[in-house]
Amino acid sequence: MLEKLRIAKFRFQLQAKDVLHLSNSNPVSTLRGACGYVFKRTVCMQKRAEDYECATCLLRTGCPYPYIFETQLPPDAEMFRGYFYVPHPFVLSLPFLSKSILKPGETLSLNLTLIGKAIDFLPYFLFVFSKLGEVGIGKGRGKYEMLSVHAVNPLEETEQSIYTENEQIAYDTNLLLTYENFLAKLPPLQESIAKAGRKLIIEFQTPTRLKNRNRLVVNPEFQILIRSLLRRISSLYYFHCGGQWEIDFRELIAKATSVEYAPIDLKWVDWRRYSNRQQAQMKLGGFVGWVRYEGALDEFLLPLLIGQVLHVGKATAFGNGKYILCQEETKTQ
């Protein structure tokens, strides 16, 4: 199955020293763009690193920047040959509609998820986010201080401090999320869904951008959601964990058509960002809100659990596609 799956999640606590101006539409966009810029300048051996094309560099196969931020299909890949770029091995996220302006002294909790081989590059992210605080971000180049970093296990609700202002601590691999961790969560979830009459509510907390037949999806029918999840998990597992997920994808997707879909409170939220690398505006809007699914759900619970950590759909590196599995009675808005 997914025995090689390794996921690590970290929470960065940042405190504004100046007024911080983040993107109005999605604050994580400012942090993601600045992180990529400083990361490249930190590791690139070329002069004027920000203008250098990684695709033509002799060092690209051993450099962490293109692996993490411009992840291309390896030439020896035996699967997903139709891809050019493959899913990035990281997710940055903030609660959607977080404050876009922080006053001095206010704090921000930024979540970073690393998948597979990318976990080895955690020290680079620690350095880059610390450096970003010194050089400043957003309009006016507001500075911040990186107060602490914690490794967190959202399944077990445990955490460990790995960085403070005064010390850095080795990352405890016991906090890694593995296949076994997700399997252990299946029985209680199955029981709660059975008690709810085979019903499950999913809350899409950040814009979720799915496509079906090359068109954006407004209504996330279960088959569409599951197909997107299976594609994302299997490609991340193949390219970044070095494994192949041996399941019958077509059969599982076909079974997903029998699960009924009912939107509860769903809306579309648009947001855009300007990509300096692509020199273009990027439309990254998606749907947010609550959806109820009803039917034979047991076979789909493993990918649904994993997807809570990895997100689903497009632009996950910018925090898109975050969702949580809810009990019927937890829907309060």
Residues 252 and 161 occupy one common structural domain: no
Instruction: Verify that 205 and 309 share a domain, yes or no.
Output: yes
List pLDDT tens digits, range 259-279. 999 999 999 998 877 666 666
- In this prediction, residues 76-94 reach a mean pLDDT of 82
Specify whether 54 is located in the same domain as 156: yes
Final residue of a structural domain among 176, 192, 214: 176
Share of the chain above pLDDT 90, in %: 69
61 shares a domain with 203 = no
The residue segments making up the domain with residue 204 are 178-330
Is 324:205 a contact under the CB 8 Å cutoff?
yes
Mean pLDDT, residues 177-185: 96
Domain membership flag for residue 169: yes
Residue 47 lies in a domain: yes
Tell me, yes or no, whether 1 lies in a domain: no
pLDDT of 329 above 50: no
Looking at the structure, do residues 141 and 193 belong to the same domain, yes or no?
no
What lies within 8 Å, CB to CB, of 325 at 6+ separation is 189, 200, 201, 202, 304, 305, 308
Query: In this structure, are 245 and 121 located in the same domain?
Result: no
Of 150, 176, 202, the position where a domain reaches its end is 176
Q: Are residues 89 and 170 in the same domain?
A: yes
Q: Single out the residue of 308, 40, 317 nearest to residue 186, CA to CA.
A: 308
Q: Is the pLDDT of residue 328 over 80?
A: no
Are 109 and 12 within one domain? yes
- Which CATH number do you get for residue 310? 3.30.70.1900
For 164, half-sphere exposure in the C-beta direction (CA atoms, 13 angstrom radius) is 4
Enter the pTM of the model.
0.92
- Please tell me whether residues 170 and 190 are part of one structural domain: no
278/217 same-domain check: yes
Is the pLDDT at 333 greater than 80? The verdict is no
Number of structural domains in the chain: 2
pLDDT at 195 over 50: yes
pLDDT level of residue 7 (50, 70, 90 thresholds): very high
For residue 112, how many C-alpha atoms fall within 13 Å in the half-sphere facing its CB? 24
Asked if 304 and 311 touch (Cβ cutoff 8 Å), the reply is no
C-beta of residue 284 within 8 angstroms of C-beta of residue 209: yes
Q: How far apart are CA 27 and CA 21, in angstroms?
A: 9
What is the CA 322 to chain-centroid distance, rounded?
Answer: 7
Q: Does position 85 have pLDDT exceeding 80, yes or no? A: no
Compute the distance between CA of residue 88 and CA of residue 69 in angstroms, rounded to an integer. 6
Across the chain, mean pLDDT equals 90
Residue at a domain's end among 176, 203, 232:
176
pLDDT score recorded for residue 332: 40
Helix (H, G, I), strand (E, B) or coil at 26: coil
The reply to whether 52 and 149 lie within a common domain is yes
**Would 52 be classed as within a structural domain?**
yes
Residue 120 within any structural domain of the chain: yes
| Within-domain flag for 26 | yes
CA atoms within 13 A on the CB side of 75: 3
pLDDT at 81 over 80: no
Sequence-ordered alpha helix ranges (H) in the chain: 27-43, 64-69, 122-135, 179-184, 186-195, 222-240, 249-256, 301-310
Residues 203 and 305 in one domain: yes
